[in-house]
């Protein structure tokens, strides 16, 4: 069985999450909006419990949680919804290393007349809160900055960024897809107005996520719904609720929060072990994203003189990736690696490793051995390696 080290793309479903979901996939099949009978009441109660679990994991209130099909939909609702509510024009501040769901939504709003500032990142992958604050203008109606990067794992200081945005009366949206359940997020305490997340990045099911929208703050947050038809989720996201998925999202976040600190320590040690093997037995390597604050399960490495696609083909026993799963169909090099200041050649030799809850020390040793052997083999056929 292949070794799975691509948890930034998706994570395995935790059996405990599946156990929580099963009743709502079988006997408890009611529609949460059909509250004229016990089946609907049962479903509505399950959704309410999940709403409280999501709120507790993100430092928000249950009424702030809007269930969606995933983080991509949540981010689109947040960006397009605030832009449309601003009634044209205005200004958004974001970052060049954001997920395509943010960058593409901002680009669409730009074509509709909104000005967009895309902030650069430092060579280590960090983003200064002061840089965000300096970019805010009088007509800025939204700042969209991710909490942790999906390719290089660097963590931004969202608490400081939110505070600086609040001083200027600008709502902060953070993409917490990679960070939820892995590092703290305290929306109320920090002043974060919106956050997006997906269940399948935190050992839950695919096809469900949430946009947390804190209405209690200044200025008042206005969103134009992007899906009409029934007025579900406070009118922000119409459609029959995915009750089993929502139950799974709540359970997944509750488990992740309970185990967050011990799991981060375990995965950090395994990640360091993988890094030590690779850098100890191979030369011409470079780590992408070296900022001090980094997700414990992330390692992104440039294997110079090796094409990353060729390396992935050479190690079919190890499931890793070359970048964002949402842009893997595109032949272009990673925009995140390019944003670090590297060229296309560097980007095309970079590989992302993503450890997960079920990764073992044996998995790390086996994966390291396979990758090291493949790199040596590929470099042996390269006319460039050893010639410089």
Active-site positions?
326
CA-based diameter of the chain, in Å?
Answer: 76
The pairing of beta strand 3-4 with beta strand 115-119: unpaired
User: Using H for helix, E for strand and C for coil, what is the string for 86-117?
Assistant: CCCCCEEEEECCCCHHHHHHHHHHHHCCCEEE
Pick the closest to residue 26 from 261, 286, 296, 244 (CA basis). Answer: 244
Strand partners for 209: 68, 198
- Cβ neighbours for 294, distance < 8 A, ≥ 6 positions apart: 125, 152, 153, 154, 155
Own/partner long-range contacts of 370-373 (Cβ < 8 Å, ≥24 apart): 370/3, 370/315, 370/317, 370/318, 371/278, 371/311, 371/315, 371/318, 372/277, 372/278, 372/281, 372/282
CA distance 369 to 339: 30
Token pair for 163: 């505070």
């Amino acid at each position: 069985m292949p070794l799975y080290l691509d948890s930034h793309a998706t994570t395995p479903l935790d059996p405990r999450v599946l156990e929580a979901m099963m009743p709502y996939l079988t006997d408890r099949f009611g529609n949460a909006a059909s509250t004229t009978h016990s089946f609907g009441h049962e479903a509505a109660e399950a959704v309410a419990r999940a709403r409280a679990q999501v709120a507790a994991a993100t430092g928000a209130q249950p009424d702030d949680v809007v269930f969606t099909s995933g983080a991509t939909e949540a981010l689109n609702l947040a960006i397009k919804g605030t832009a449309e509510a601003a009634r044209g024009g205005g200004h958004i501040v974001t970052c060049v290393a954001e997920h395509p769901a943010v960058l593409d939504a901002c680009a669409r709003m730009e074509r509709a007349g909104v000005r967009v500032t895309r902030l650069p990142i430092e060579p280590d992958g960090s983003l200064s809160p002061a840089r965000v604050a300096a970019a805010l203008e009088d007509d800025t109606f939204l700042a969209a900055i991710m909490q942790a990067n999906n390719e290089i794992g660097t963590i931004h200081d969202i608490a400081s960024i939110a505070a600086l945005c609040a001083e200027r009366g600008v709502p902060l949206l953070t993409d917490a897809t990679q960070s939820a359940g892995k590092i703290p997020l305290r929306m109320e305490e920090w002043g974060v107005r919106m956050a997006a997340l997906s269940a399948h990045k935190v050992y839950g099911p695919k096809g469900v996520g949430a946009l947390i929208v804190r209405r209690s703050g200044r200025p008042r947050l206005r969103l134009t719904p992007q899906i009409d038809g029934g007025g579900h989720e406070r009118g922000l996201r119409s459609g029959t609720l995915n009750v089993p998925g929502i139950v799974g999202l709540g359970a997944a976040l509750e488990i992740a929060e309970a185990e967050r600190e011990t799991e981060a320590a375990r995965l950090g040690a395994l990640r360091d072990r993988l890094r030590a093997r690779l850098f100890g037995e191979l030369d011409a390597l470079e780590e992408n994203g070296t900022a001090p604050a980094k997700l414990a399960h992330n390692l992104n490495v440039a294997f110079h003189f090796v094409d990353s696609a060729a390396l992935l083909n050479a190690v079919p026993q190890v499931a890793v990736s070359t970048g964002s799963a949402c842009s893997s169909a595109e032949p272009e090099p990673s925009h995140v690696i390019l944003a670090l200041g590297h060229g296309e050649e560097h980007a095309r030799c970079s590989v992302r490793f993503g450890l997960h809850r079920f990764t073992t020390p044996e998995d790390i040793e086996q994966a390291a051995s396979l990758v090291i052997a493949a790199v040596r083999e590929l470099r042996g056929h390269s006319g460039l390696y050893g010639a410089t």
